[in-house]
Amino acid sequence: MNIEQKQASLRQKVRRSMLFVPGANAAMVSNSFIYAADSIMFDLEDSVALREKDTARLLVFHALQHPLYKEIETVVRVNALDSEFGLQDLECVVRAGVDIVRLPKTDSAQDVIDMEREITRIEKECGREVGSTGMLAAIESALGITNVVSIAHASPRLVGIALGAEDYVRNLRTERSPEGIELLFARCSILQAARAAGIGAFDTVYSDANNEEGFLREASLIKQLGFDGKSLVNPRQIELLHNLFAPTQKELDHATKVIEAAEAAERQGLGVVSLNGKMIDSPIIERARLVVQRAALSGIREE
């Protein structure tokens, strides 16, 4: 598999849940692989105090090399390149073998290009295959939303775009509401840009871990909009989110029939696929495959 195929495979991976793990929390860093999140996202930025930056970086460096973390996708949110910690973070995590680097506060395509340049340099220096480190751009400002289309197309390493709501609403001079109306434009902008670029779209965290009803309401909204997944801050939210993204038995049965019809048409050399007298085009077939994939991961939804 060449690097272009590897990057395409990285973009297509299912990421319903990305669990944030504070890099300075030694207990969580040491055993977060026990949780069933699709990705573990170590944080070296906002959740780490200035006096703990070096300690957190070292903890994450060793965790990334732990055998049990090799079996789950790892993401690290580094500090910005223009900070005193950004380049040190990048040197550390790329050399340690992180799967994806999350860029904080991405305001322009140039931010992505600058980060990619440094990642490429480090890969060459440490003997890692050039292009094998993925990137995830976090949009956290009005400027970032304004430039989101160019950001989404800035690098073939990008697996997706994520919304960082707390800094974004502060930048808008407002605050988060239970309904999330202040985030609707940002969410739709991110989703449109991601789909146009063929990459993933990931929602922001829901920080009230004790409010399951509120979490499910927000998660249902972003699923209906079309997001691929959501960043999480509490392991208890993982099962709730995975169940929400799981298909119903009716949805799975229909998806299976669609795929069977498509495969039968291909065997017969037919250019047109139909099911129960209705035409089936490629987007419907692709959607059906996603439903089957989610069922394989999560089972059938518990209503």
Q: Measure the CA dihedral 282/288/291/296, to 10°.
A: -110
* CATH, residue 167: 3.20.20.60
Shared domain check, 184 and 289: no
Q: How confident is the model at residue 4 (pLDDT cuts 50, 70, 90)?
A: confident
Nearest to 167 by CA among 144, 201, 195, 197: 144
303 is a domain residue? no
- Domain count across the chain: 2
User: Which structural domain, as residue segments, surrounds residue 288?
Assistant: 249-298
Residue 84 phi, psi (nearest 5): -75, -10
Q: For all residues of the chain together, what is the average pLDDT? A: 93
Among candidate residues 223, 245, 267, the one where a domain is terminated:
245
pLDDT at 274 over 90: no
Percentage of the chain lying above the pLDDT 70 cut: 100
Q: Is 173 helix (H, G, I), strand (E, B) or coil?
A: coil
pLDDT tens figures, 18-56:
999 999 999 999 999 999 999 999 999 999 999 999 999
Shared domain check, 262 and 139: no
The pLDDT score that the predictor gives to residue 273 is 78
Shared domain check, 272 and 234: no
Q: CB under 8 Å, gap of 24 or more: what pairs does 261-268 form? A: 262/288
Shared domain check, 294 and 221: no
Tokens 């996202």 label which residue? 41
Among candidate residues 205, 228, 245, the one where a domain is terminated:
245
pLDDT at 175 over 90: yes
Shared domain check, 259 and 182: no
Shared domain check, 16 and 107: yes
Q: Which residue has the higher pLDDT, 9 or 144?
A: 144
Given a contact cutoff of 8 angstroms between Cβ atoms, the answer to whether 89 and 119 are in contact is no
Q: Which two tokens stand for residue 109?
A: 């395509």
pLDDT tens figures, 190-218:
999 999 999 999 999 998 888 999 999 99
Q: Which residue has the higher pLDDT, 301 or 193?
A: 193
The pLDDT score that the predictor gives to residue 303 is 61
Q: In angstroms, rounded to a whole number, what is the distance separating the alpha carbons of residues 209 and 198?
A: 31
Average pLDDT over residues 81-106: 97
Q: In angstroms, rounded to a whole number, what is the distance separating the alpha carbons of residues 167 and 138?
A: 11
Shared domain check, 22 and 109: yes
Contacts of 197 (CB under 8 A, 6+ apart): 149, 152, 153, 158
231 is a domain residue? yes
Residue 160 phi, psi (nearest 5): 175, 180
Tokens 């600058």 label which residue? 114
Give the chain's length: 303
Shared domain check, 159 and 275: no
Shared domain check, 285 and 181: no
Tokens 């992505």 label which residue? 112
